[in-house]
Amino acid sequence: MSFEVALPILIPLLTGALCVMFWRYNAIQRALSLVGSFALLATSIWLMISVYNDGHVVMYMGNWEAPFGITLVADMLSAIMVVLTGMMAVAIAIYSLSSASPSHERFGYYPLMHLLLAGVAGSFLTGDIFNLYVWFEVMLIASFALLILGGERAQMEGAVKYVTLNLLSSAIFLSAIGLLYGLVGTLNMADIAVKLGEAENAGLIDVIAVMFLIAFGIKAAAFPLFFWLPASYHTGPVAVSALFAGLLTKVGVYALFRVFTLIFNQNVDFTHEILLWMAGFTMLTGVLGAAAQFEFRRILSFHIVSQIGYMILGLALFTPLALIGGVFYIMHHIIVKTNLFLISGITHRLLGTYDLKKLGGIYKSRPFLSILFLIPALSLAGVPPLSGFFAKFIIIRAGVEADAWVITGIALLVGLLTLYSMIKIWAEVFWKKLPKGQDDTALVEGKTSASTVVLYIPVVLLAVCTLFIGLNGQPIYEFAEYSAAQLLNPQGYIDAVLGGAQ
Partner 1 sequence: MEPVMAIAVGLMYAAAIYMMLRRSIVKLVIGLMLLSNAANLLIFTSAGMTRGAPPLIPPGAVVPDGIVADPLPQALILTAIVIAFGVLAFAVVLIHRAYNILRTDNLDQMKDTDT
**CA–CA separation, 180 and 175 (whole Å):** 9
CB of 297 to partner 1, least distance (A): 11
Phi then psi for 57, rounded to 5 degrees? -115, 125
Size of site (CB under 8 A) for partner 1: 40
Beta bridge partners of 128: 188
Nearer to partner 1, 135 or 390 (CB): 135
Amino acid at 176: A
Q: Which stretch binds partner 1 (CB under 8 A): 7-15, 92-100, 227-235, 251-259?
A: 227-235
Q: Which stretch binds partner 1 (CB under 8 A): 49-57, 102-110, 232-240, 478-486?
A: 232-240
CB of 145 to partner 1, least distance (A): 7
**CA–CA separation, 355 and 369 (whole Å):** 18
**CA–CA separation, 323 and 400 (whole Å):** 14
Beta bridge partners of 126: 72
CB of 240 to partner 1, least distance (A): 15
User: How do 57-60 and 71-74 pair as beta strands?
Assistant: antiparallel
Q: Of 329, 195, 202, give the one whose Cα is nearest residue 262.
A: 195
Nearer to partner 1, 157 or 273 (CB): 157
Query: Where in 132-191 is the site for partner 1 (CB under 8 A)?
Result: 133-134, 137, 140-141, 144-145, 148, 151-154, 156-161, 163-164, 167-168, 170-171, 174-175, 177-179, 181-183, 185, 187
Q: Which stretch binds partner 1 (CB under 8 A): 127-135, 268-276, 404-412, 462-470?
A: 127-135
Q: Which stretch binds partner 1 (CB under 8 A): 30-38, 76-84, 231-239, 257-265?
A: 231-239
Cβ neighbours of residue 495 closer than 8 Å, sequence gap 6 or more: none
Nearer to partner 1, 44 or 166 (CB): 166
Phi then psi for 74, rounded to 5 degrees? -120, 115
CB of 294 to partner 1, least distance (A): 11
CB of 195 to partner 1, least distance (A): 14
**CA–CA separation, 328 and 199 (whole Å):** 34
Residue 107 touching partner 1 (CB under 8 A) = no
Q: Is 20 left (phi over 0), alpha (psi -120 to 50) or beta?
A: alpha
Nearer to partner 1, 296 or 389 (CB): 296
Residue 355 touching partner 1 (CB under 8 A) = no
In the DSSP assignment, the letter for residue 150 is: T
SS3 388: helix
CB of 147 to partner 1, least distance (A): 10
**CA–CA separation, 44 and 81 (whole Å):** 9
Nearer to partner 1, 118 or 317 (CB): 118
Residue 449 touching partner 1 (CB under 8 A) = no
Helices (H), 199-237: 202-220, 228-232
Among 113, 231, 243, 324, binds partner 1 (CB under 8 A): 231
Nearer to partner 1, 218 or 279 (CB): 218
Amino acid at 96: S
Nearer to partner 1, 416 or 501 (CB): 501
Nearer to partner 1, 174 or 274 (CB): 174
Cβ neighbours of residue 432 closer than 8 Å, sequence gap 6 or more: 360, 361
Q: Which stretch binds partner 1 (CB under 8 A): 225-233, 377-385, 457-465, 474-482?
A: 225-233
Helix axes 450-471, 320-351, angle to 10 degrees: 160
Beta bridge partners of 264: none
Q: What is the 3-state secondary structure (H, E, C) of 135-146?
A: HHHHHHHHHHHH
Residue 272 touching partner 1 (CB under 8 A) = no
Residue 130 touching partner 1 (CB under 8 A) = yes
Q: How many Cα atoms sit within 13 Å of 193 on the Cβ side?
A: 23
**254: exposed, middle or buried (C-beta count within 10 Å: 0-12, 13-18, 19+)?**
buried
CB of 140 to partner 1, least distance (A): 7
Residue 218 touching partner 1 (CB under 8 A) = no
Residue 69 touching partner 1 (CB under 8 A) = no
CB of 339 to partner 1, least distance (A): 24
Contacts with partner 1 by CB under 8 A lie at: 130, 133-134, 137, 140-141, 144-145, 148, 151-154, 156-161, 163-164, 167-168, 170-171, 174-175, 177-179, 181-183, 185, 187, 227, 231-232, 234-235
